[in-house]
A and B are shown apart, each in its own frame.
Chain A
Amino acid sequence: MLAYIVRRLLYLVFILFAVSVLTFLMVHLVPGDPARVMAGIDASQEDIELMRKKLGLDLPLHVQYLRYIGAVLRGDLGESIRTGRPLAESLLARFPATAELAVISLLIALLIAIPAGVISATKANTVWDYLTMTTAVLGVSMPSFWRGLMLMLLFSLTLRWLPASGRGEPFLSWEWLRHIILPSLTLGLGAAAMLSRLTRSSLLEVLNQNYVTTARSKGLSERRVVMRHALRNALIPVVTMAGMQFGWLLGGTVVIESVFAWPGIGRLLVHSIFARDFPVIRGGVLLMAASFSLINLAVDLLYGLLDPRIRYE
């Protein structure tokens, strides 16, 4: 196991290095002169040259990368062209908002998906099963931002129960809870649709195994067989998928933050794409990809701990 962890950590370093090269090259892959693109359409030749010098675009490519990665490793992600503020500061200020949205969404997804999957599997081919799975396939097919708008239309604009935008302060207060419900429900319902389908198929597979038949033949109640014997094993792939979903939820926050004016990294990224503010795009993408890779590593290790049958070659 230790060798596996070391190997995976080394691999993580490689992936992060590659992601840093890619995000670094982003500026250079822009069609045309990147200094001109970032200086804006009204910029004079002098402004463009100043921008080129400021971003170090006049230096050889490898020197530019070494300067960039050196600064990143020191925690300096550069500064925003638009606001001039240090990037690390604004990204770190926004990261908790994005992370809490992803975490709460995942919790909502699990709270809905596991009971729905269990009901569907234990009552397979009944009305309950069809109802749950039809809802799930509709949920998978629904654009998340549209679900957000519809929830906003119902709960904010019509019933006036919940606020339609922004993040409530302080953290974990009543206002915070009221603000996070709609965006996290929007994201969580999409993930729940996927996880409930997986819970159902995984539980159905486990329920056909010999040890479950043994448990039944011992005279245990069906409830005990499902909850104590079958579900524990059926949840292993669900936990893995939930971990992966967490990464996807991080990506999903990009659009949901824009719908609900949630002050996270995703919304900053979208704004920066319009403003062609490449240092911010680079920093935001690097932070999200690094978090995603770390989560994937954690999920893989967790999978090994949960299922001792898995051998690492």
Chain B
Amino acid sequence: MSKDLLRRLFRSKNALLGLAVILSVSLVAICAPFFSPHDPYEQHLLERLKPPSPEHPLGTDAHGRDLLSRIFFGARISLMVGFISVGIGLGIGVPLGLAAGYGGRWWDDIIMRIIDIMMAFPGVLLALVVVAILGPGLFNVMIAVGVWSVPMFARMVRASVLRLREEDFVQAARAMGCGSFRVALRHLLPNCIAPILVLASLRMATAILSAATLSFLGLGAQPPTPDWGAMLSEGRKYLRTAWWFATFPGLAIMLTVLGFNLLGDGLRDALDPRLRGVL
């Protein structure tokens, strides 16, 4: 990333705010054992469903576990799910997009038809289908959310490649004898980095939200894992008697997702304002 781009990025208040939120959540995730006032797994049945107090700043859950400590440890799971599932989406979607955009008509037709079929499942339904096949569990949720991201990355990279492939520098590379593989990897891919970065940030937000949704439905992380979605799922049972139990994990999800959304929007405006409306 050039200095100019960094300068533009740092001029965007939203992007800076997003970056600050993400860094804070990451710091909490890394240093969870040092920041947490209690063990997130330790149960104290006499302390169950206690409201926020100096001892337990965000209260306790139905097993008397400290909610703040569990939220701190939950940051690790949410970020891990986000990074791994976006990694799966990137790892499969980007090569597919490159092949569709630069591999010739035949590749384009086949890949885009597969993408269209994947896009025929509305919203979180595709992830739900994958979990239905593989069975519930955090690892399967990461795969499911990753698979759901594949068509987004593939379509976006294909669109960028279609725009780039007629450019002079690509023609020049071909004229100098570069093979298709080399042109795609060395010349086209580096020029798609801006939209990939923007989409990755926005997909991180969606991935964290979707994984929390699946965990909330009971299909993701299983107890006693301190997962935000799973905590909310348990907290809803006590909505009437312990409002804090379902409130704070939700706020943690919202804050983290907000960070990635703000960074994604800021990156888009700084790197390529033409993407506004596309991403």
**Interface, chain A (partner B; CB < 8 A):** 14-15, 18-19, 22-23, 26, 29-31, 137-138, 140-146, 149-150, 152-153, 157, 198, 201, 237, 247-252, 254-255, 258-259, 269-270, 273-274, 278, 281, 285, 288-289, 292-293
Interchain CB contact under 8 A, A250 and B123? yes
Kindly list chain B residues whose C-beta atoms are within 8 Å of the C-beta of A146: 232, 246, 250, 253-254
Q: Tell whether, in the assembled complex, residue A289 and residue B122 are in contact, meaning their CB atoms are under 8 Å apart.
A: yes
B: number of interface residues (CB 8 Å)? 44
| Residue with the greatest number of chain A CB neighbours at <10 A, chosen from B131, B132, B134, B235 | B132
Q: Is B35 an interface residue (CB 8 A)?
A: no
Nearest A-chain residue to B246, judged by Cβ: A149
Out of B125, B131, B134, B258, name the residue touching A288 (CB < 8 Å): B125
Q: Pick from B219, B250, B253: contact of A273, CB below 8 A.
A: B219
Complex CA distance for A145 and B128, rounded to whole angstroms: 16
Per a CB cutoff under 8 Å, which of B132, B232, B236, B243 touches A281? B132
Q: Give Cα distance in the complex from A113 to B229, angstroms.
A: 28
In the complex, what distance in Å separates the CA atom of A201 from the CA atom of B123?
Answer: 24
Q: Is the CB of A255 within 8 A of B117?
A: no
Q: Is the Cβ of B212 less than 8 Å from the Cβ of A22?
A: no
Chain B's closest residue to A147 (CB) is B250
Q: Please state if B250 and A248 are interface contacts (CB–CB under 8 Å).
A: no
Q: In the bound complex, do residue B120 and residue A255 qualify as a contact, i.e. CB atoms below 8 Å apart?
A: no
Q: Decide: A289 and B253 in contact? CB cutoff 8 A.
A: no
Assembly CA distance A250 to B257 (angstroms): 22
Cβ B120 vs Cβ A252 within 8 A: no
CB-defined contacts of A252 to chain B, threshold 8 Å: 123-124
Interface membership of B272, Cβ < 8 A: no
Please name all residues of chain A whose beta carbon is closer than 8 Å to the beta carbon of B205 when the two chains form the complex. 141
Do the beta carbons of B250 and A143 come within 8 Å of each other? yes
Assembled-state Cα–Cα distance A156/B136 (Å): 31
Task: Name the residue of chain B whose CB is nearest to the CB of A269.
Answer: B128
11 more contacts with CB within 8 A, not counting A140-B261, A201-B277, are A19-B117, A26-B133, A141-B258, A143-B253, A144-B213, A146-B232, A249-B123, A251-B121, A255-B124, A273-B128, A293-B120
- Residue of B217, B219, B239, B257 near A153 (CB, 8 A) is B239
Contacts of B219 in A (CB 8 A): 270, 273
The distance in angstroms between the C-alpha atoms of A274 and B124, with both chains bound, is 17
Nearest B residue to A22 via CB reads B117
Whether B120 contacts A292 by the Cβ 8 Å rule is yes
Among B211-235, those with CB < 8 Å from A are: 212-213, 216-219, 229, 232, 235
Q: Is B3 an interface residue (CB 8 A)?
A: no
Mark contacts of B249-266 with chain A using CB atoms, 8 A cut-off: 1 yes-contact digit, 0 otherwise. 010011001100110010
Q: What are 19 residue pairs bridging A and B, where the CB atoms are less than 8 Å apart in the complex?
A: A14-B113, A22-B117, A138-B258, A141-B254, A141-B258, A142-B257, A143-B209, A143-B250, A143-B254, A145-B232, A146-B232, A146-B254, A149-B232, A198-B277, A247-B122, A254-B124, A254-B128, A273-B131, A288-B125
Q: Is B274 an interface residue (CB 8 A)?
A: no
Chain B residue with the shortest CB-CB distance to A250: B122
Chain B contacts for A201, CB-based, 8 A: 276-277
Please measure, in the bound complex, the distance between the C-alpha atom of A254 and the C-alpha atom of B218, giving whole angstroms: 13
Judge whether A157 and B239 touch: CB under 8 Å. Answer: yes
Q: How far is the CB of B97 from chain A (nearest CB, A)?
A: 20
Residues of B within 8 A of A143 (CB): 209, 212-213, 216, 229, 232, 250, 253-254, 257
Instruction: Mark out the residues of chain B between 140 and 154 whose CB falls within 8 Å of any chain A CB in the assembled complex.
Output: none
Interface 1/0s, chain B 103-123, versus A by CB < 8 A? 000000000010011001111
